[in-house]
Amino acid sequence: MDSVLQYNVGILGVGSVGKTLFQVILKKTKTLADSYKVSFRFVLLADSSGVAFHKNGFNLDDVIQTKQKGGKISSLPGFLPGVDAFDLIMQHSPKIDLLFEASPVNLETGDPALKNCIAALERGIHVVLANKGPLVAGYQRLVETAKKNNVKMMFSATVCGGLPVVNIGRNMICADIELFRGVFNSTTNFILAEMGKGRAYLDALKEAQERGIAETDPSLDVDGWDTANKLLICSFSVLNFPCKLKDIKVEGITGITSNMIQEASKKAQVYKLVATAKKVENGSYELSVRPTLVDENDFLAKTEGWEMGVEIHSDLYGIMYHKMYEREPIATASAMLRDAVNILNR
């Protein structure tokens, strides 16, 4: 019988997704050992207060309790004042097998997450991302660094959380994708649905933030940039179409009013924030994110509330529809675990 292998791992960003990842791992410890022959020992932790390192691993129950009480990593044994994650990776990389990246998003430069991921990959550490920033700012550099150092980088959690949009697209072997469209942001989808019921915009947004689904900066959701970033990542990884964020036409939902939603309903239509990549004659893609009126029987119209969905048209696999319901960060955390297990089992 194969023995269980214990891996030393670190996590940058112990917010709602990070805490949930700990809870999922604790809940599924036996399944991970029995079915996948892996065990995780968290030796590196980082949040906004700084970093901590413990060669024998942190007690995840203690970390969860600390964070739930409003505590910081700085209050844990092993905290290293004046040291940042980059320093820790440089110093302890031989003792770390895999790094989870779930820190707040920086869409301008991707840093410090991008710098930290590059450092990890260069030192033979596998990387799993829930943070879109490094991919948006440095996708090709990350891919090349991982390949050069014979390590893996996976990021299915960055697009629609638990819905494996990137994995599905990458497994459409030899397909020519003609149309790729979806509802990629459950926060805006929920807000539009609630406004259709007469609820105030700000009230719906507040609930999304309280549930840990909305981005730290909610303008990323409601102005369409979270969706645009996900579309950009899909363009790189699924469509093999390199482009920049400025190439995507982006419009958010802040201009949509309850009256507009009610008038659309009278015509059997609904508003959705739709990401679209449409193939054009020269073989490239036109990319857009905008509030779109869709017929109530359309697949995306039936992607409701906290759901996210993707529709893919290709020459080999016809039209594919996938959607999922995500109201809590458990699906995103579980997608990170899925990527980690896939990396380590390979």
User: How is residue 250 annotated by DSSP?
Assistant: E
| Catalytic (active site) residue 95 | no
Q: Outline where the chain has alpha helix (H).
A: 16-27, 29-36, 60-68, 85-92, 113-122, 133-148, 165-170, 186-196, 201-210, 219-222, 225-237, 258-266, 330-345
From the CA atom positions of the chain, what is the Rg in Å? 20
Q: Going edge to edge, which strands form the sheet with 38-47? A: 50-53, 38-47, 5-12, 98-101, 126-129, 153-154
Residue located via tokens 């579309």: 231
Answer for the pair 98, 129: CB distance below 8 angstroms, yes or no. Answer: no
d(CA 296, CA 179): 20
Distance, C-alpha 294 to centroid of its chain: 26
Contact by Cβ (8 Å): 67, 19: yes
Kindly name the residue from 19, 230, 272, 323 that is annotated as catalytic.
230
Write out the catalytic residue numbers: 230
